[in-house]
Structure 1
Amino acid sequence: MVNRWARLLADTLFPQQCLLCRLPSASHLPLCGCCAAQLVPNHPCCPCCALPLATPGGGLCSACTQRPPALDRVLAPYVYEPCLGYLIGQWKFQRQRHLSGLLAELWLAAVDPPQDRDLLLPVPMHWRRLLQRGFNQATLLARALQHCDSALQRLPVAERTLRRPRAVPAQSTLTAQQRLHNLRDAFSLRAPVQGRRIALVDDVMTTGATAETIARLLKDAGADDVQLWCIARTPPPAT
């Protein structure tokens, strides 16, 4: 009750402005309802890798059918498009860390988080990139999800379970084939994960090379189930 009244007072004294249309957002978030409604839901999508699909009810995508991934499930409720891309870009590259809460609330508004996870595992950054950016956005998102959903607060955020010992070029600058080669030996485990049901947390899934590499490492170490929780999935290339 106290938090609700404090939020109402803050909204009255310091009204939020929508980051997309620049009008008052009429909420505690920097996104108005009209602009939020313009975000593209990722439906229909592959029930395994969350690749956006053209028609509903099509089952697994061809890639998952031909080669089942190590990931057991991907929860990516939005399609990565310019509006959401702008919000994520402001968060990551303009260091607007406060947008972690907005992105977490958008995710939770579209997803009913599975209650069977044992831990939240942020995708790690190499220490040089972490030093340059000043934060790991995956860790911020994991903690914001906990802050916004009391059911997730029982889960440890396992920041030290996985490390990235080798600096590699940014995945966004590479082709799909180069991404796979780029990630060879890029991650290592620092804690046991045998029998654990893991929610791997990241911002956006593109080709899935990073998440798949980590999932295989976790499964080889005995993890029971690995899901990827991310904000958005990029659409397939236009043909």
Structure 2
Amino acid sequence: MSYEEIFRYGSDSIGPGMFQVLRDRLEAELGEDPFKVLERSPKRFLTAMRKIIGYRTTEAYFSMLAERLRAAGIAVTKDVLIDAMESDDPSRLELIFRNARIVTPFERMYRQKVFLQLEKAAKARQRRVAIGSALLGIGMFSLVLLVVTLASTFLSQLQVNIALAAGAIIAFVVAVENYLSNTAPAPRAEMIMRMRILGGSVPPLDEALHRVFTAILRERKGEYVDVSLSSLSESLEMSPVDLIDSIMMLQRAGVIRVESIS
């Protein structure tokens, strides 16, 4: 994702047309595409902003921009952004936005809806498999009962009892095997995520990330942390989708690293 797309996304929440106004004024000040300048010299871009809209307004702008970006999944603060730009090191700024993936409110809502539909479909399938397995077991036992009844004149009472008991056991085993072999895999909310704590700092203004990180630390028993996504989402009263987004933001911030999901 380009710097222009990121700044456009962050600016649109500040005010209608804010991005275009800022872009035009920066282009007039710098004499070229401002985002080309940002790629080469972040400090020059920042200096031009401070000259155009003032020092305090620039600070407020980056504060609102950082808040907007955090909500979209990029773990960053105003100070981190400004420090990276003042260092005039393009690689530092690039590192912040590397693999940035903006999640719009509509996309978040769509993902949440799809997740709930998949979870509902998995539960419905599980019910159907349970009913089908029970009917299979009943059908098999009914068949055994019919055969034993027809052959009862040739069998002793002990043989009849043994045949019925064996038929019941076989029907039960077949029903259970059918249920276990056809049950849908657990949805991703039930997965266990293994993480390593790296020691990075959680963005100080993001209360939600602090809550998630604190909950993760409570599960720490050694070098790694094994977390059940379903249990963690319930304890934090967050949807699994939002919880996974928060974990990915912590990973981008260098606080944790996801090692495996099982």
What's the TM-score once normalised by structure 2's chain length?
0.23
Mark the structure with the bigger radius of gyration: 2
Structure with more contact order per residue of length (Cα contacts < 8 Å, sep ≥ 6): 1
Q: Name the structure where helix makes up a greater proportion of residues.
A: 2
